[in-house]
């Protein structure tokens, strides 16, 4: 029985049987790993952009830094089609109702990124108008500090979010279904 | 030419003002609140101050009267600015609205009203603009606690 020459390069366990040993007949993996692997490379962001961090968001999503490499290139301007809520900029109390509505409209699974100092903690706006951190309103998965953050920090944040997604449980059947 | 028009305004309106002075090239008239409407009427009709720039207020908290309302006007004919100030007390923080004369005054009076609580008599649309319905107090007053929040969405923790 001949051994496939590229078997040592495979990262997913391959069980080859019989004469068709060089083909991918079937794979074994775990459900959470498979769904996590699929989901971490298809993060459709919803950019909730309110302030000057938008400039950095444009920089990081265009070709020099290219978030398309992480599958996070295609902004969906409908929350129904989005997986990642990117809160980019200062959120005032008046705007918080809108942010909460958008978050509630997103379908599971969904993640939230606080982009920049204002979304993370309110930044230097500690006053009557600004929400001191969007985690007071919606649960936040990844925080990116900086005023504004460097594109490298945003990319690092996306990669950490991918790790988080890959490590997470991905229930297919939950209490609602 | 700019100095000429300010001299003429100063000469004509100084008798009705508490004080009149030139500061950084702007004529500053300090008025009693009652004198506002007639003085602005003359500025607009006689001296060509046709552009309403701004109205805001200053909170001099320990002093009485507590508030100072400040207006700025510009003349597109003479290219000069003029500043008008009037002091009002906290218990009677009312001045005349200039919306009948300058349409653009309405929006700025709304902002001044919500931030400082100045009432503009004659402006019947003083709804909140930057703030929201249900906001208690006036956030730019000195006695508004600087960290007091009035969230519309309940916090999750």
Q: Calculate mean pLDDT across residues A63-80.
A: 82
- Distance from the Cα of residue B68 to its chain's centroid: 8
- Domains within chain B, CATH numbers bracketed: 2-121 (3.30.460.80)
CA dihedral A128, A133, A137, A141 (to 10 degrees): 170
**CB within 8 Å: B144 and A126:** no
| Shortest Cα distance, chain B CAs vs residue A25, angstroms | 49
| Shortest Cα distance, chain B CAs vs residue A112, angstroms | 15
Q: What interface predicted TM-score (ipTM) does this complex get?
A: 0.79
Give pairs for B107-113: CB < 8 Å, separation 24+: B108/B52, B108/B54, B108/B55, B108/B56, B109/B55, B111/B56, B112/B55, B112/B56, B112/B57, B112/B69
**CB within 8 Å: B132 and A127:** no
**CB within 8 Å: B149 and A93:** yes
Query: If you classify domain A31-64+80-167 with CATH, what class do you get?
Result: alpha beta
Q: Is B148 on the interface with A (CB under 8 A)?
A: yes
* Spatial separation of the C-alpha atoms in residues A166 and A171, rounded to whole Å: 13
| Shortest Cα distance, chain B CAs vs residue A117, angstroms | 18
* Spatial separation of the C-alpha atoms in residues A1 and A7, rounded to whole Å: 14
| Shortest Cα distance, chain A CAs vs residue B156, angstroms | 6
pLDDT of residue A122: 87
Lowest mean pLDDT among A45-54, A86-95, A105-114, B1-10: B1-10
Quick check: A70 and A159 in contact, CB under 8 A? Answer: yes
* Spatial separation of the C-alpha atoms in residues B112 and B148, rounded to whole Å: 20
Q: Calculate mean pLDDT across residues A31-50.
A: 88
pLDDT band at B2 (very low <50, low <70, confident <90, very high): low
Nearest Cα to A118, choosing from A151, A153, A82, A149?
Answer: A149
* Spatial separation of the C-alpha atoms in residues B25 and B40, rounded to whole Å: 19
* Domain locations in chain A as residue ranges: 31-64+80-167
* Spatial separation of the C-alpha atoms in residues A154 and A149, rounded to whole Å: 7
Site from B149, B150, B156, B157 to mutate, A interface, most A CB atoms within 10 angstroms:
B149
Q: Calculate mean pLDDT across residues B141-157.
A: 88
pLDDT band at A10 (very low <50, low <70, confident <90, very high): very low
User: How is residue B117 written in tokens?
Assistant: 């609580």
**CB within 8 Å: A136 and B157:** yes
Give pLDDT tens digits for B53-95: 999 999 998 998 999 999 999 999 889 999 999 999 999 999 9
């Amino acid at each position: 029985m001949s051994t496939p020459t590229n078997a040592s390069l495979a990262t997913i366990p391959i069980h080859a049987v019989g004469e068709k040993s060089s083909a991918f007949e079937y794979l074994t993996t775990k459900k959470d790993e498979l769904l996590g692997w699929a989901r971490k490379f298809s993060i459709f962001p919803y950019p909730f952009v309110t302030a000057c961090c938008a400039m950095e968001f444009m920089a990081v999503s265009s070709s020099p830094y290219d978030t398309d490499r992480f599958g996070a290139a295609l902004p969906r301007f409908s929350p129904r089609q989005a997986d990642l809520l990117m809160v980019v900029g200062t959120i005032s109390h008046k705007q918080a109702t809108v942010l909460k509505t958008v978050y509630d409209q997103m379908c599971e699974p969904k993640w939230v990124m606080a982009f920049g100092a204002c979304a993370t903690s309110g930044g230097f706006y500690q006053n009557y108008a600004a929400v001191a951190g969007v985690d007071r309103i919606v649960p936040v998965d990844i925080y990116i500090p900086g005023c504004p953050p460097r594109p490298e920090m945003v990319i690092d944040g996306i990669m950490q979010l991918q790790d988080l997604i890959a490590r997470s449980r991905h229930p297919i059947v939950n209490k609602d279904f | 030419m700019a100095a000429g028009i300010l001299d003429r305004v100063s000469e004509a309106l100084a008798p009705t003002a508490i004080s009149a002075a030139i500061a950084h090239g702007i004529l500053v008239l300090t008025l009693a609140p009652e004198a506002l409407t007639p003085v602005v009427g003359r500025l607009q009709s006689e001296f060509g101050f046709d552009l309403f720039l701004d109205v805001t207020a200053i909170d001099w908290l320990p002093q009485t009267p507590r508030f100072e309302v400040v207006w700025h006007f510009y003349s597109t004919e003479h290219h000069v600015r003029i500043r008008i100030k009037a002091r009002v007390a906290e218990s009677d923080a009312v001045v005349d609205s200039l919306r009948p004369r300058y349409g653009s005054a309405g929006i700025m009076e709304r902002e001044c009203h919500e931030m400082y609580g100045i009432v503009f008599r004659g402006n019947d649309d003083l709804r909140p603009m930057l703030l929201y319905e249900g906001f208690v107090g006036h956030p730019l007053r000195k006695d508004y606690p600087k960290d007091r929040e009035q969230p519309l969405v309940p916090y999750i923790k």
